[in-house]
Every structure is written in structure tokens, then in C-alpha cells.
Amino acid sequence: MSADVKQQQYNAEQIQVLEGLEPVRKRPGMYIGSTGPRGLHHLVYEVVDNSVDEALAGFCKNINVTIQSDNSIVVEDDGRGMPVDLHPKLKIPAVEVIHTVLHAGGKFGGGGYKVSGGLHGVGASVVNALSEIMEVEIKRNGKIYKQTYSRGKTQTPLIEVGESRKTGSKTMFKPDGEIFEELEYSYDTLEHRLREMAFLNKGIKITLKDEREGQKRTEIFHYEGGIKEFVKHQNKNKEVIHPDIIYFEVKKDDEHEVEIAMQYTDRYNELILSYANNINTSEGGTHMIGFKSALTRVFNDYARKNKFIKENDEGLSGEDVREGLTAIISVKLTSPQFEGQTKTKLGNSEIRGFVETTTNEYLTAFLEENPSQARIILDKCLRAARAREAAR
Ligand code: 0RA
């Protein structure tokens, strides 16, 4: 990199620091998509994502989300507590940097899979910018610290307010009525996303509590079986055709992980949900392509080997082997590339081969080890193929 390009980058960073969060308040849509209900709910996901990151890093088990009676939100976790030490350059506490500097602390940097990069992944500072009040309480170093912000600006310095032997972070925010068209949270919307997060991150316990008058309730989302239970949940009102959910999880290196769960139902349609770093990749991408190729390959190989179809027969199509299938594909990677119209298409090319090889291996093993279930699934695929032939 040339010296003047470096200089430019340096200046750009400086400007961002100096500008603070005004740009976020000027163009909220650029940062959270909209100022309607979607954007409003997005604020909660941004804050929860930071706690989920702490859980994925292995430091936190419980996340509590509360809708308070005034439609303010509290997110509390039992992680290490946000860092409070002074930022070497800015000379203010790290937690204050996280909340008042755009992108800074957004994803802290360094190691682990982060719930980010998807639609927005903009961090706590954007939530602050769009909140009339935001308060953090941190338990760390045997102490309890507190700081408040408003509309992107620090309101009170970080102070010690007590002592505690526990660690964790608690964030309260109230979305700004000057920004959002509507301030009322939908329990169902939050429930749907938080349950999905719990399925995608097995073992973490997310509690959702509604304290609003007339709709008080609490639900706990905690799935030791992870996406295996997600498939069961998706199939709960459907007739499944074989007893076992096919499931596998493989970590390749410190940078790539794939987890797949699948089960066939008696339906004609397929339901394949794919995720990258907990973000629903509704436009699919390389993980989806790898999975689909492996599926077609494995069932055709198995069908030929076991004489379900003749050696030089045309074989089963992709649609034939997906008919009635419910599947969840979840990949985690350190540098996800999101592409497509809505940035919900995974682009990382290395993921395709990884998912394909893994699915080939585990699905083949499942069919070999479970011949009676293999037979049921194959029968359904063959029926789909015959119906397709007949229609032609
Ligand atoms: C210690 C170090 C780092 C982050 C956290 C604790 C932490 C952040 C949040 C946000 C919500 N809950 C939290 N709990 C802990 C920085 C880690 C790094 O630099 O990778």
C-alpha cells in the first residue's frame, strides 16, 4: 500500500471518529434498513447479536431479553462483561467507544465467528444513535459499572456503582420517537427470531419476557439438540416418513463449520432453510449449492448400488431427491461474503466443496447404516421421478 493511500485511510477513520453518529441519525435506513417496524426490531437483534457472539466465543450461556412496559428493551447476558479499560488512542473506556463510535467495536475484531455482515451487523453504536436513551451496566473486575447515552452521545461518564462477584453485560435502550414511525414491539416478531437464534446455537438459553400491561408472559428458548430440534419444530404438523432426523456437524479448521439436519415428510414441497453465521441466507449461495449437489449424487449412487435403478438409467433429478424434504443448513465462517440483491446469498467459494464433501460422507454413511429408512426415502424419490416422467 502506498503512503498516500494509507494516509487517506487514516484520514477516513479519523473523520468517522470526529463525525460521531450524526450520519446514522441523518440516514437511519442506510444502517438498519428502515425506520418502520423492521428497523425497530432490528435494534434488538443488533444488541442480542453481541451477546450471542459472547456465547459463541464460549463465555456466556444465558441471554435475557425483556420488553418493558414503555416498549424499551433490556438485554442481559452472563458473559465476561464489556471491556471498560481505556482505549489507547481515544483515552475513553472501551465500552464508550463501542457505543459512540461508528463501526468501532462493531465487531471488536479478532477471532471467532461473528453474527455480522448479513443485512446490517452495525453494532451497539447505531442502536445508541437511534435511541432516546441507552444505558449499560457491566459486571466485571468485581465491580459494577454504569454509563448512559442518548441519541448517539455520551450522557454520563462510566462510573462504578457497586460490587459483584458475577460478570455480565446489561443494555437498556428506548428507540427514539423522532426516528421511528412506530414504537410498539411485536412479541411474535421477537419470539420468532430469538427462537431461531436458540436453534442455531445449541445450548444457549434465551429468555424472552414481556412486561407490558395485558400481555405479560415469559418464554425460554433452549435447545440442546440445536438444528435437529429446529427440523422437528418445522415438521411438527407434518407426517414424517422415517423416524430419525439425519444430523451431522463438522468443524474443518478454526474458520469453517457446517451443521446439517434433515428429515423427509410425505409432502410434495421442500423446505430448506440455510444460514451463514446465524443469518438466514434466503437467496441461498455456495453452502446451498454444495448441499444440493451432494444430495443428488448420494441418492443416485445409493439407488444404483442397491439396484433401485438400472446402471444406465437416467436417474433421480435434484427435485426428485428434495421432494418432501425439510432441512436446515447452518454454516459458520470467520469471513462470510454476503452477496445478492438483499445481501442474503453466501458467496464464499471454499464453502461449496466443504459442504458437498461433508454431506456426501455423512449422508452415505446414514443410508448404509439405516437400510430400512434409506428404502423409505428412496421409494419416495423414485415415486417423484416416475410422476415426473409420466407428466412428460
Ligand atoms: C471482553 C472482550 C471483548 C468483548 C467482550 C468482553 C464482551 C462484549 C459484549 C457485548 C455484549 N455482551 C458482551 N460480553 C462481552 C472483546 C473481544 C474481542 O476483542 O474479541
SS3 state of residue 89: coil
Instruction: Look at residue 15 in the predicted model and tell me its pLDDT.
Output: 41
Closest protein CA for atom 2 of ligand 1: 83
Task: Report how far residue 364's alpha carbon sits from residue 370's, in angstroms, rounded to the nearest whole number.
Answer: 10
Instruction: With a cut of 80, say whether residue 261 has pLDDT above it.
Output: yes
Instruction: Look at residue 142 in the predicted model and tell me its pLDDT.
Output: 98
Which residue, 323, 85, 47, 326, is CA-closest to 206?
47
Closest protein CA for atom 12 of ligand 1: 51
Ligand 1 atom closest to residue 124's alpha carbon, by position in its atom list: 10
Ligand 1 atom closest to residue 47's alpha carbon, by position in its atom list: 11
Which H helix or E strand runs over 96? helix 94-100
Q: Using alpha carbons only, what angle is made at residue 110 by residues 347 and 333, rounded to the nearest 5 degrees?
A: 30
Ligand 1 atom closest to residue 168's alpha carbon, by position in its atom list: 14
Which residue is listed with cell 461518564? Answer: 157
Instruction: Look at residue 102 in the predicted model and tell me its pLDDT.
Output: 85
CA of 133 to the centre of ligand 1 (A): 22
Among 54, 135, 139, the mutation site with the greatest number of ligand 1 atoms within 8 A of its Cβ is 54
3-state secondary structure 313-342: CCCCCHHHHHCCEEEEEEEEECCCCEECCC
Instruction: Look at residue 122 in the predicted model and tell me its pLDDT.
Output: 66
Closest protein CA for atom 17 of ligand 1: 108
> pLDDT tens digit string along 134-181?
999 999 999 999 999 999 999 999 999 999 999 999 999 999 999 999
CA of 130 to the centre of ligand 1 (A): 22
Q: What are the two backbone dihedrals, phi and then psi, of residue 208, each rounded to the nearest 5 degrees?
A: -115, 125
Task: Report how far residue 118's alpha carbon sits from residue 122's, in angstroms, rounded to the nearest whole number.
Answer: 10
Closest protein CA for atom 6 of ligand 1: 82
Provide residues with CB under 6 Å of ligand 1: 50-51, 54, 77, 79-83, 108-111, 169
Instruction: Look at residue 115 in the predicted model and tell me its pLDDT.
Output: 64
- Interval 262-284 mean pLDDT: 97
Percentage of the chain modeled with pLDDT above 70: 90
CA of 22 to the centre of ligand 1 (A): 25
Instruction: With a cut of 60, say whether residue 104 has pLDDT above it.
Output: no
- Comparing 127-141, 210-224, 309-323, 344-358, which segment has the lowest mean pLDDT? 309-323
Instruction: Look at residue 86 in the predicted model and tell me its pLDDT.
Output: 95
Which H helix or E strand runs over 288? helix 286-305
